[in-house]
Copies of this chain bind each other. A is one copy, B any other.
Amino acid sequence: MPDCFALRGNVCFASEKRELMTFPRTYVICEDGLCRGVCPELPREYAGIPIEDYGDCLIIPGMVDLHIHAPQFTYRSMGMDCELMEWLRRYAFPEEARYKDLDYAARAYGLFAGKMSSSATTRAVIFGTVHRDATILLMDLMESTGLISFVGKVNMDRNAPDELREESADASAFDTFGFINEANRRGYLRTKPILTPRFIPSCSDALLNELSEVRRAYDLPVQSHLSENPDEVRMVMRLMPDAAFYGDGYDRFGLFGREARTVMAHCIYSTDAEIERIRQNSVWVAHCPNSNMNLASGIAPVRRYLREGIRVGLGSDVAGGQTESMFRAVTDAIQVSKLYWRYVDEKAKPLTFPESFALATRSGGSFFGRVGSFEDGFEFDAVVLDDSVLPVSRPLTLAERLERAFYLGLDQHGIRAKYVRGLAVDRDFGSHHSSSSL
Tell whether A37 is near chain B: CB-to-CB under 8 Å: no
Tell whether A407 is near chain B: CB-to-CB under 8 Å: yes
Residue of B nearest to A396 (CB): B78
Please tell me which one of the listed residues B296, B323, B392 contacts residue A339 in the complex, with CB atoms under 8 A apart: B296
A409/B412 in contact, CB under 8 A:
yes
Residues in B neighbouring A400, C-beta threshold 8 A: 75, 78-79
Q: What 1/0 flags go to A293-319 for Cβ under 8 Å of B?
A: 111111100000000000000000000
Bound complex: CA of A90 vs CA of B114, how far in Å?
41
Tell whether A107 is near chain B: CB-to-CB under 8 Å: yes
Q: What 1/0 flags go to A333-359 for Cβ under 8 Å of B?
A: 011101101111000001011000000
Q: What 1/0 flags go to A406-432 for Cβ under 8 Å of B?
A: 111100110000000000000000100
A interface bracket (residues with beta carbon within 8 Å of B)? 35 or more
Known contacts being A339-B296, A339-B339, is A393 close to B77, with CB within 8 Å?
no
B407/A80 in contact, CB under 8 A:
yes
Tell whether A434 is near chain B: CB-to-CB under 8 Å: yes
Tell whether A403 is near chain B: CB-to-CB under 8 Å: yes
Tell whether A404 is near chain B: CB-to-CB under 8 Å: yes
Give A contacts to B, CB under 8 Å: 74-81, 98, 104, 107-108, 111, 114-115, 293-299, 322-323, 331, 334-336, 338-339, 341-344, 350, 352-353, 391-394, 396, 400, 403-404, 406-409, 412-413, 430, 434, 438
- Pairs A–B under 8 Å by Cβ, sample size 25: A76-B404, A76-B407, A77-B403, A77-B407, A78-B404, A78-B407, A81-B350, A98-B394, A107-B393, A111-B393, A115-B391, A294-B335, A297-B342, A298-B339, A322-B331, A322-B407, A323-B407, A339-B339, A343-B344, A391-B430, A391-B434, A392-B438, A409-B412, A412-B412, A413-B413
